[in-house]
Structure 1
Amino acid sequence: MTPRKGERPPVPEPLPVPAFDAHTHLEACGAENAADVRSMLDRANQAGVACVVTVADAMPEARWAVRASTWDDRVYAAVALHPTRTKDFSEADRAELTELAAHPRVVAIGETGLDYYWDYSPHEAQQEAFRWHIELSKRTGKALMIHDREAHEDVLRILDEQGAPPTVVFHSFSGDVDFARRCVERGFVLSLSGTVTFRNATALREAARSVPAEQLLVETDAPFLTPHPFRGRPNEPYCVAYTLRALAELRGVDVGDLATTLAATAKRVFGMTVPLGR
């Protein structure tokens, strides 16, 4: 019997080592209040996922993400204006993002970058906003979380021209082996979502094999990009356990060893210190 698309995938067996969801959208997953957030993180803990970074893509979501990070100590926040929303990036928005970014539960500036797939914002506006977010990352000392869709060359060019912050994370990395190599050479961290489990993602899966484990993270980008074999169904942070197991199999390594390395990277990149469980 084919599962209905509206059903969440089952919660998998817990990972042998606590893992981290480096990029999720708890509000878009349906969380409205502290009780909803706790329920989602409890499900994540059942699968061995210790904590998450919930990410903003617009101003209301940025405010919500910061509030949510205070409701549960397993939740951290990232704030920015998504590139597709930068057509009208006001001075008031910049001032508020600067204030939100200073919150101690905010661990990254993101998601920011370039998106040439959609045409909601002119490329020039996206690039100017990206440069501003790069500088905010450097001022705050917090990781830069990049959204890069069909804009690889301009993303790298702007990072080189502007001067990349010490910590750069490519969220839901979508490049091939060559692009991965150029990112790795610059010291960037590549975060892999459920797309790396898709059987038709040949170039991405090859790239995922090539990146040093110390420069990898895993994420859900929930409620989107649910990993195989549940593609198309609602995603939640606990599903990062499916992606991590698939990545370990793809790389031919022990899942516990890989989880340990990726957890250390998450702590280094974001300063996550939350233990598994309550």
Structure 2
Amino acid sequence: MFTDTHCHLTHVPTGARAAIDTARADGVTTMVTVGTDLASSAECVRIAAAHEGVYAAVGIHPNDAIEATEAVLARIEDLAQHDSVVAVGETGLDWFREGAPPIRQEESFRSHIRIARDADRTLVIHDREAHDDIVRVLVDEMPLPRVVFHCFSGGRDLVETCAVNGWWMSFAGNVTFTNATPLQEAAAAVPLELLLTETDSPFLTPHPHRGKPNSPSMVAVTTAFLADLHGLGTEDMAAAVGDNARRAFALPGAPGGG
């Protein structure tokens, strides 16, 4: 019943198989496991190919954009052709951490957009304190494939921009934090048809489980929290998010998704 549109099964402490089995037992039917470099992207493809209902995203994280050489991007482009791959990313811009130089991040971002467009894969955006520049690049690169803002961190202005453009907004466990009032207000303003849930596990464990490693199972906590924000029951929110994820990632059962 639950959908985790962004997890890192290559990083969960229990290992991918145990995390998937636990998530299944807890009602998580769909997971997208996301690569952050070439090695983890290849492993995500392998994991997704071996487990029904698990899909892969492949890409180079913006903080590692210095590694996004022509040869590496060619390998990402090859991986994007696999049947189990539904997205390219996470890619984007990060002006918070001391990572790759901004010019290399933007070059890598634009290359990922091209790969996603050519492969007809969804583009998964990492946006850390870079809202205006992310939008600038996306607008400049139109027409775009399907776009998902992973771990949405903007305010109402960015919600409106995403809504106008039909970009999906995905919320992780940090929306449940007690000091996250502005993010909660943004989440409440997202049109229901553009709302997604994720864990970003093993990171961003939702309240009241902070201090423990996150896992795909905990997407249920975030789903229930978002349901309250939108005045819905948890089952209704889970159903809406499931429908949204099928469209956002062109999953089986979605129009054009096979």
Mark yes or no: TM-score above 0.5: yes
Q: Which amino acid aligns with 1:204?
A: L
Aligned to 1:205: 184
Aligned residue runs from structure 1 range 106-185, under 5 A:
106-185=85-164
How many Å separate the matches in 2 of 1:272 and 1:168? 14
Aligned to 1:90: 69
Task: Map Cα deviations across residues 222-264 of structure 1 (whole Å, 9 max, x no partner).
Answer: 0000111011210000000011011111222121111111100
How much does 1:159 deviate? 0.3
Aligned to 1:193: 172
Q: Are 2:26 and 1:47 aligned?
A: yes
Q: Are 2:10 and 1:22 aligned?
A: no
Greater relative CO, 1 or 2 (CA 8 Å, sep 6+): 1
How many Å separate the matches in 1 of 2:18 and 2:30? 13
Q: Does the 8 A contact of 2:146 with 2:249 survive in 1?
A: no
Q: Does the 8 A contact of 1:82 with 1:110 survive in 2?
A: yes
3-state SS of paired residue (1:99): helix
Point out 4+ residue stretches in structure 1 off by more than 3 angstroms: 271-274
3-state SS of paired residue (1:21): strand
The structure having more radius of gyration, on CA atoms, is 1
How many residues align? The count is 253
Which blocks of at least 5 consecutive residues in structure 1 are unaligned?
1-17
Task: Map Cα deviations across residues 148-187 of structure 1 (whole Å, 9 max, x no partner).
Answer: 0010000000000111523100000001111111111111
Alpha carbon RMSD of aligned pairs, Å? 1.3
3-state SS of paired residue (1:231): coil
3-state SS of paired residue (2:105): helix
How much does 1:269 deviate? 1.6
How many Å separate the matches in 2 of 1:262 and 1:243? 12
TM-score when normalising by structure 2: 0.95
How much does 1:37 deviate? 3.0
Q: Does the 8 A contact of 1:194 with 1:226 survive in 2?
A: yes
How many Å separate the matches in 1 of 2:67 and 2:222? 36
Which blocks of at least 5 consecutive residues in structure 2 are unaligned?
254-258
3-state SS of paired residue (1:264): helix
Which stretch of structure 1 is more off in the superposition, 42-51 or 103-112? 42-51
